[in-house]
Homo-oligomer: A and B are copies of this chain.
């Protein structure tokens, strides 16, 4: 156990830090700090990704031949830490490079890989993942988007939902149903698609948080070539599992204010008897949040160590979102309640730039997106602890005959 850098890691960190210092300065000089969700912000993000790719800091663990850094998982962690400190980070590429492109690399033919991997690494093209559907939800495999073979093409009709970044993505991986007579998991097939096709329509979803970060995506007679298929016909579920496994490995940072921010808020806030930070009940909560946050951070590190040693990491990392989403909701609510009546304010007057109020409205989504608390617990129970699955009434039944209440 060594939470310090080894000499070679220290050297890597020094080099990365030096590069980041210079690169971030040059980047900011050129792009400023554009507002999120603007074309300027996207342009800056793409420029930064290209800069990283040039220097071997994009997709650090991928081989150099596809544009990656040819480095180790620990180097990837080190760079991530330093990039965080440098204050330059964009979220547009996470899903594409963390989930979609790895799936393409695993299942596409050589030409397709050559065509797509390198541009994605350089930030030239952005990918999204099209799995969830209104009727599906937690039950992803219940999807109904149909793909019907027509000569060398497939014709796709249906609807996806909760697609992050569909509106700014260039390509997507799309899970479809190609056989309604097969049992649910056996009639699926995966494709990559061009998101700019006229037969693809994105409609942003208005969230309870007020934002529109996700989309509904409609397909109306979208035609794709059979060469766009990823994996065999009917093997879509197996392909999707690879995507979702990569989702677990995509190491995510924290999604909002944490113990540090709420500590600072409490330090500044008047309580009944000195600063709110003096309150023992708050202090105990603060300790719990710190301990859980550290626990998650080091659990991710343990995953990296397993990867470094050539082992397959277990799904320990699934514990991350269960803890962090619930903690964000509790922490944000505590911070808001601590302000008293003033906590209701969300505009320019709000304490801490309304960060806690925003998190309060965002946290319920975090508990659902990418697998609800309940689904993640099922996954851990079954895959980590080896407990039996739920009694399934939808196995070995033709998809069209499964009860749906409609």
Contacts and interface: CB of A to CB of B under 8 A. Distances in A.
Interface string A386-404: 0000110100000000000
A281 interface: yes
Nearest to A390: B391
Nearest to A282: B280
A341 interface: no
Contact of A283 (B281, B283, B391): B281
Contacts of A390: 391
Q: Is the interface of A mostly helix, strand, loop or mixed?
A: helix
A280 B338 CA distance: 14
Contacts of A393: 391
A285 to B, nearest CB: 9
A8 to B, nearest CB: 46
A283 B279 CA distance: 11
A395 B281 CA distance: 50
A22 interface: no
A282 B281 CA distance: 7
Contacts of A281: 280-281, 283-284
A393 B392 CA distance: 11
A393 B283 CA distance: 49
Contacts of A283: 281
A282, A283, A284 pick with most chain B CB within 10 angstroms: A284
Given A281-B283, A281-B284, A391-B393, 7 more contacts: A279-B280, A280-B280, A280-B281, A280-B282, A281-B281, A390-B391, A391-B391
10 contacts: A279-B280, A280-B280, A280-B281, A280-B282, A281-B281, A281-B283, A281-B284, A390-B391, A391-B391, A391-B393
